[in-house]
Structure 1
Amino acid sequence: MQKILIPTDFSENAWNAIDYAMQLFRNKRCTFYLLNTYTPVIPSSRFMAKMIDGVSIVDAVRETSERGLQKTVQRIKTKYGNPNHRFETISSFNLLVEEVKDVVETFGIHLVITGTKGASGVDEVFMGSNTVRIIKTTKKCPILAIPYHFEYVTPTEIAFATDFNRFYTTSELEPLLQMAKMFNATVRIVHVQYGIKALTELQQFNLNMLRRYLGDVEHYVHTVSELSSVSHTLETFSKELGIHLLAMLNYQHSYMEKMTREPIIKRTAFHTQIPLLVIPELGMEGVASTEKEEEPSVEAHN
């Protein structure tokens, strides 16, 4: 995980994700790509101002974006000053979700880290809408979603939620294995069932393969009964076992897909209280893209 993308809107929620990332990878050589997108309203009426003090609205917003990114980099360097870390900034006139997808492909990003502050009140959702959209559209690398107010804890207890209905490839499990080995973590495989019943032959085969992939990583299998929803069940499990990081694969009919589709009344209890590692369905393609011989310049992407 050498190339890490962190979208930021300069909020404290976004800073909390950056803060987590700096501590999580403090002993690793990384390039962090800090991304800010902006979409100023383009005046369509002759009665609307196109200029502010002689500067076009688009130019003014772009300058604010670029200045904010430089301030963020300076804040990181002042707090951490880690020689293992280098930073690139990307300021883009684009929609966030589209730009994340483009940057992941252009720069061969290995991991996207984002804050997850959702809406409030009756509209409160299991994660912020941008985070959910990023998870649904980013198909080539894992997403690590960091809850607002979550204070960094070394992830020595990792839960991997799965129903064993799908075969896992080594490339898909690589992010989980890397994280577990990096922190000498215990992996707790958690299977949520609606009514406890024996595994099918296929499920048992997939579980055996999963355990083989985990190899010498300490791991345990937990089967739990579904409470009011999958998300509520996983939240309760994570609290009871002191889980520091929850990981899951995102594919059709997976827990991740179910959680993003659960009726809002069911998932309000799940506020991503711990970091969530969402691994995309890769098949045999491998994690992210293979390293390009020559890394493209960030400037050309602005």
Structure 2
Amino acid sequence: MTKHILIPTDFSKNAWNATKYAMALYENETCVFHILNTYTPNIAHSRFMATSINGAALEDSTRRHSLNGLEHLIQRIQDDFKNPNHSFEAISSFSLLVDEIKDLVEEKNIDLIVTGTKGASGLEEVFMGSNTVRIIKSIKNCPVLAVPQYFEFERPSEIAFATDFNRFYTKSELEPLLEMARMFRATVRIVHVQYEIKALTELQLFNLNMLRKYLNTVEHYVHTVSELNSVSKTLEVFSDELDIHLLAMLNYPHSYMERITKEPIVKRVAFHTQIPLLVIPELGMNSTKRTKKEEMSFSNSLGSR
């Protein structure tokens, strides 16, 4: 089954690194890579500027730069990777990045968005208002894989899934995680960060048991760890000590993902993750991707509370 992967690019080094990562990650999969560059010409406003500037000509020039950049980028990918499983579509769009991504996710049935993050502190950059955080916050129907600028591809044989078990997950929501684990025969390490170690509630136990059922064909372990100063620092240390290659989180209200974004910067500043982050959006209760069996399980969980 052909996968459709969207890679936004601004032709920077970190965008190229994310592109390389995507090519290596899906080396053995049949994929269409949709390579997107958006542009909005910067027309300066000044009382000293001649009023005869031709806006259409400026837009045309910027569009040519975008198209040429995409053409050279795709040629570079084909020269470097020479993978017959992969095909490419160049998309140059005069629009805002997030708006165009929203449209393409629907129009092209995108399975995954792969984007780069800047600097050594990749995740910190994500939470400081970059394009990546805007994508993560705005795209509600497609997983996002954020790749740090200097991360060299490693086969993700160890994947961490951070959760607090307070929310019922459906198998459909977890499919991006399950697929990645199956594809690389990876071990999934479910990590639960607690401010103080205490027994799980009845609801948490139910959600944990459902999660383990979904992962029954995948080698997995549950790790409960004490919070070290902040959730972000705890996940960083955990990932480093267990040599994690990919960190996955669901993005929903009150999730670890949201908690990290709301942590004081003084706590987040030490969060220098060097591994890719897979952000999985929650599916709404009315999503057609939920199965009847999942709906029944969810209803039963509510009834038992």
TM over 0.5, shorter chain:
yes
Alignment root-mean-square deviation, CA:
2.1
**1:203 corresponds to which residue?**
204
Q: How many residues align?
A: 284
- Specify the SS of the correspondent of 2:258: helix
1:11 aligns with 2:12: yes
Q: Any idea what SS the aligned residue of 1:155 has?
A: coil
User: What are the superposed Cα offsets for residues 152-200 of structure 1, whole Å, 9 maximum, x if unpaired?
Assistant: 0000000000000000011101000000000000000000010111100
**SS of residue matched to 2:221:** strand
Say if 2:53 is the partner of 1:50: yes
Q: Against the structure 1 CA distance between its residues 26 and 115, is the aligned structure 2 distance closer, same or farther, given a 3 Å change threshold?
A: same
Instruction: Measure how far apart 1:272 and its partner are.
Output: 3.3
The reply to whether residue 264 of structure 1 matches residue 265 of structure 2 is: yes
Letter in 1 for 2:238: F
Structure-to-structure mapping, 1:122-271, within 5 angstroms: 126=127, 129-271=130-272
> What residue identity is the alignment partner of 1:187?
V
Go from structure 1 to structure 2 and tell me whether the alpha carbon gap of 1:133 and 1:119 turns closer, same or farther (over 3 Å shift): farther
Shift of 1:283: 3.8
Q: Match of 1:296? A: none
CA distance in structure 1 between the partners assigned to 2:125 and 2:23 by the alignment? 28
* Per-residue CA distance 1:1-51 (angstroms, 9 max, x = gap): 700000000011000000000000000000000000111123556626624
Change (3 A) 1:42 1:179: same
Call closer, same or farther: CA 1:128–1:18 in 2, change over 3 Å: farther
Give structure 2 stretches of 5+ with no counterpart: 291-305
Q: CA deviation at 1:145?
A: 0.4
Q: For 1:82, what is the secondary structure of its paired residue?
A: coil
The answer to whether the aligner puts 1:21 opposite 2:33 as a matched pair is no
Counterpart Cα distance in 2 of 1:170 and 1:158: 17
Q: Percent identity?
A: 68
Aligned residue type for 2:231: V
TM-score by length of 1: 0.89
SS in 2 for 1:56: helix
Q: In structure 2, what is the Cα distance between the partners aligned to 1:2 and 1:49?
A: 47
Helix, strand or coil at the partner of 2:22: helix
Deviations along 1:131-163, one digit per CA (max 9) or x if unpaired, are 111000000110000001000000000000000
Secondary structure of the residue aligned to 1:100 is helix
Q: What is the alpha-carbon distance in structure 1 between the residues aligned to residue 192 and residue 51 of structure 2?
A: 57
Amino acid aligned to 1:197: K
* 2:282 aligned partner: 281
1:95 correspondence with 2:96: yes
Q: Deviations over 1:37-78 (max 9, x none)?
A: 1111235566266249xx811110110001000000000000
CA distance in 1, matches of 2:129, 2:36: 17
Aligned amino acid, residue 226 of structure 1: E
Could you tell me how far 1:262 is from its partner in structure 2? 1.6
* Structure 1: tracts of 5 or more residues without a match: 289-302
Contact in 2 for aligned 1:26/1:82 (Cα 8 Å): yes
